[in-house]
A and B are shown apart, each in its own frame.
Chain A
Amino acid sequence: MAKTPSDVPVEPGMPQLDFTTFPNQMFWLFVTIVAIYFVLSKIALPRISAVLSDRQDTIEHDIARAEELKQLAEDAETSYNKALADARIEANNIVNNTKLEMKAELARKIADADLQIADRAKESEQKLNNIKAKAKSSILDVANEIAIDIVSKVSPGHIDEKLIIESVNQKVTE
């Protein structure tokens, strides 16, 4: 539009209705449309379509890969948890077993100790009985001597010692 109105003869009306220019416009429009159509259908559109589907494929592939990795991570977590649970159970078992063993050991030891205590008690009882028996005989001896002395002092002469001992024994055992 470099030309000023004074340079160009001004035609009245709309240039759109100047039919002398129609063949020119139609011709160049035809050329243009054909050119654009070939550029688009032969080069641009297949290329863009390929790029878009490539991208779609890549995204889908990446998502699938991520899914896979996620699955792996989940598997690892489950096996870890399983191992943890197993270890816990084992630890519990060990603790329980140990407890049982210790209980059994304790019971055995207690039983041993009871036996020993019973032995000792028997022994002591025996000793006590011996001492008791000894004491009894010595008491008897002392009593006999005293009785003989008393009898000999009361009635000097013949003393029937056997009789005295007999009667003393009788009295003491009563």
Chain B
Amino acid sequence: MTNLLRDRLFLVWLLLIAVTLLSAMIGGAHGFAAAGHGAAATFAVLGIAFAKVWLVMSNFMDVRGAPRALKIVCAVWLLAVLAILLAVYAQLLPL
């Protein structure tokens, strides 16, 4: 068990599970912020989701050991998609 707790992959998995449960509590029809705080909850939920994607990429897909160029492409791509999604959600884009 101590070995397991020293394993980075396992720890990352624990963290992913924890934040998933957290975001399930924040968002959705019966979430903490169901009354009146929808936008804030959505920003939080999507932010958490993209943080999880980054965790999966860097640890499970081993992007952390990749050349700098790939790391930058992944990070820029994730931030760009998150920004577009939030902007569309908040109706900031003239679509």
Tell me, yes or no, whether A binds B: no
